Amino acid sequence: MEFFHKVPQINFLAARKLAMGMSVVVLIIAVVSLFINRLNLGVDFTGGVTVQMSYPQPANLRQIRNTLAQAGYKDAIVQNFGTPESVLIRLQAKKGESEKNTGSTVAAALQQVAPQAKLEQVNFVGPEVGKDLATKGALAFFLTLTGILLYIWFRFEWRLALGGVAATLHDVVFTVGFFSIFHLEFDLNVLAAVLAVMGYSVNDTVVVFDRIREDFRITRKGTPFEIINLAVNQTLSRTIITSGVTLLVVIALLILGGPVLHGFSVALFVGIIVGTYSSIYIASATALMLGVSKKDLMVVVKEDRKVDDMP
């Protein structure tokens, strides 16, 4: 079985300005949304309390909200968790109340109304812990980007390095922005998925870069535009198979993985699609616009001899 018997001749880069323009617009929307909507951060980051309760019959969410409001938790977020019988409550501790006690207070209040309700789990995170996690995560992310930049610079060339970092940044901002725009909860598992997206994006970009470098070295004729286009076409078959196969796993996780893995799978799903797109339209196109050319990627020939020959 083969999808492409011959190397396809699609003029990908012809649409680079349109694609880049669209990417810029989408990224601006994502960033604006991050400023306005912010991220729907899980307790892992914001600090606060989550309480999971299970009921013998489908839970009456409105009644639960009322009970909690009466108990003094006005801003509690109550939602079903996986099944109609299972309820996830997110709230902040009351003023002066220790987060440690909130879980049992909430459970007691709810059990007064529905004695059969069972407390499944309580999690709480102090505000300073979440902040610490967020700053450390951001720091790790930027240092990782620097690491990628330096490595591609060292192995390839600075224009490609910038293109690679631009693509990685694009994918991460896009994925995180997606969670902001659609108000999906961003928790630790989603963070792990975003990291995986980063890894995937880098891997995908480097594979395309490698082909670009090879083609620059072996092709005698052709403009950088044509050569990069050729490289993208030559790797297209591999790109489609790898992305498709990875998406297959992610879709299985998305459909069957259950509520805990849902955010994780959504982030991977979105990230893999944009990660594949960005290798072509962000990474390669950026390098092209920065003026990458044949001589930048030729094997460096040592020229020590000449000095010796000088009179």
Partner 1 sequence: MLNRYPAWKNITVILVTALGILFALPNLYGDDPAVQVSKNNATLTDSTTTQVEQALDTAKLPYKSAAITDNRLVVRFSDTELQLHALDVITKALGNDYSVALNLVPRTPKWMRAIGLKPMAKGLDLQGGVHFQLLIDLDAAIQTKLQRDATDIRGSLRDKLVRYEDISLHGSAITLTLRTPDDVSKARAFITSEYPELTLTSGSEPNTLVAGLSPKSIQQLDQLAVEQNITTLRNRVNQLGVAEPVVQQQGANSIVVELPGVQDTARAKEILGATATLEFRLVDFGANAVLAKQSGHIPLDDQLFNDKAGNPVLLKRDVIVSGDQLVDAVSGYDQQTGTPDVNVTLDSAGASKMGVVTRENLGKPMAVLYIETKTENTTVDGKTVPVHKKVYTVINVATIQGIFSKRFQITGLQQEEAQNLALLLRAGSLAAPMDIVEQRTVGPSLGQENIKQGFDAALLGFILVVAFIAMYYKTFGVIADLAVFMNLVLTVALLSLIQATLTLPGIAGIVLTLGMGVDANVLINEHIREEVRAGNSPQASIHAGYRRAFATIVDAHVTTLTAALMLFLFGAGPVKGFAVTLSLGILTSLFTAIMGTRSLVNWFYGGRNLKKLPV
230 binds partner 1 (CB under 8 A): no
Q: Which of residues 248-307 bind partner 1 (CB under 8 A)?
A: 248-253, 255-258, 260-261, 264, 268
User: Are the CB atoms for 297 and 211 separated by under 8 Å?
Assistant: no
For residue 39, give both structure tokens: 């991220």
Q: Nearer to partner 1 by C-beta: 70 or 121?
A: 121
Q: Which of 79, 121, 219, 223 binds partner 1 (CB under 8 A)?
A: 121
Helix (H, G, I), strand (E, B) or coil at 7: coil
Q: At what angle do helices 262-278 and 224-256 cross, to 10 degrees?
A: 170
238 binds partner 1 (CB under 8 A): yes
Q: Minimum Å distance from CB 121 to partner 1?
A: 5
158 binds partner 1 (CB under 8 A): no
12 binds partner 1 (CB under 8 A): no
Q: Which of residues 30-69 bind partner 1 (CB under 8 A)?
A: 52
105 binds partner 1 (CB under 8 A): no
CA–CA separation, 119 and 89 (whole Å): 11
Q: Minimum Å distance from CB 231 to partner 1?
A: 11
The conformational region for residue 175 under phi > 0 = left, psi -120 to 50 = alpha, else beta, is alpha
Q: Which residues pair with 122 in a beta bridge?
A: 51
CA–CA separation, 215 and 229 (whole Å): 10
Q: Which span sits near partner 1 by CB under 8 A: 34-42, 60-68, 188-196, 219-227? A: 188-196
In the chain, % helix, strand, coil (3-state, to 5) comes to 70, 10, 20
Q: Minimum Å distance from CB 141 to partner 1?
A: 8
Q: Which of residues 62-91 bind partner 1 (CB under 8 A)?
A: none
